[in-house]
Amino acid sequence: MLYPAGLHERTDGGAPIPILVGVFLVCLFVLFAVGGLILVQRLVPMGVRQRQNDVAGFIYAVLGVAYAVLLGLMLVAVWEQWEAAKIIADDEASEVAEIFWMAHQLPQPEGRRIQELARSYCRVVVEEEWPLMERGMASPRAWATLDDLRDSVQSFHPTNDAQLALYQESLSQMDGLSDARRKRLLAANEGLPGILWVVLIIGGVFVVGFTYLFGMENNLTHVLMVATLALIISLVLFTVAALNYPFRGDVHVAPEAFEQVLERFESSDLSDL
């Protein structure tokens, strides 16, 4: 059986940073930022740095605004991507649920067969495919079950107008299910391009490092200001990394919609299973 290229094998996409690793990296970045400032304060006299405050302040205002805009855009982009992935998963679960409910109105044994396949598809997605998406993979068994489900729907031959309407609606739901599944698997492997990460990280280093050029009479105040700036930048970068791939990492879209649908399949009076 053939599957869309690359969807059942691991892709080259990166993986989100685990929360504990992210906290460690945030602390490390702040320590390096503070350490660099203390080193500059010891090597370069305060008077030399203080004479450059006016010019450095003007340049830093432009640099800081440009980086803040870029960082904000990336945070919004990954958040919208994460929300869109959740909506796609919900839509997919809704599509397979509609097929299940409509199958109840079809003659037997065709209706029961479609319901069995719909439930099997949800179960395979939850139990097998969701863990596989952590590694950028898809389940061949889920593809096979989806193909069997489509074949069962298409093989039904309506004998009256009511069955014809159900048949046409079922075909439409199958198209929606296939489309939602394709979008979910694509979303599972789509993250920010590597070039953007290079710009974000190097930009963050320059934004923090530029503050070393300022001279302040109170060194402790300067240290606290730089530490706060480094903390905010690193926290935002960590958030972007954590949300970058919506189906991977500690912060990910869970299969709650499919689990809810499976629970309804088991308890509903409309189930022939």
Q: Where are the domains of the chain?
A: 32-267
Residues 6+ apart with CB under 8 A from 31: none
Q: Which of 152, 161, 73, 70 is nearest to 119 (CA)?
A: 152
Residue 103 · residue 171 · CB < 8 Å:
no
Cα gap 241→15, rounded to integer Å: 9
Per-residue pLDDT in tens (0 to 9) along the chain, 273 residues: 334 434 444 444 456 677 888 889 999 999 999 999 999 988 888 888 888 788 888 888 999 999 999 999 999 999 999 999 999 999 999 999 999 988 888 888 888 899 999 999 999 999 999 999 988 889 999 999 999 999 998 988 888 888 888 888 888 999 999 999 999 999 988 888 889 999 999 999 999 999 998 888 888 999 999 999 999 999 999 999 999 989 988 888 999 999 999 988 887 766 655
Query: Which helix (H) or strand (E) segment is 248 a member of?
Result: none
Cα gap 149→141, rounded to integer Å: 12
pLDDT tens, 158-195?
888 888 888 888 889 999 999 999 999 999 888 888 89
How many helices (H) and strands (E) the chain has is answered by: 10, 0
pLDDT at 272: 56
pLDDT at 189: 87
| pTM of the predicted structure, to 2 decimals | 0.80
Residues 6+ apart with CB under 8 A from 201: 237
pLDDT at 198: 93
pLDDT at 45: 85
Cα gap 171→123, rounded to integer Å: 21
Residue 107 · residue 264 · CB < 8 Å:
no
pLDDT at 46: 81
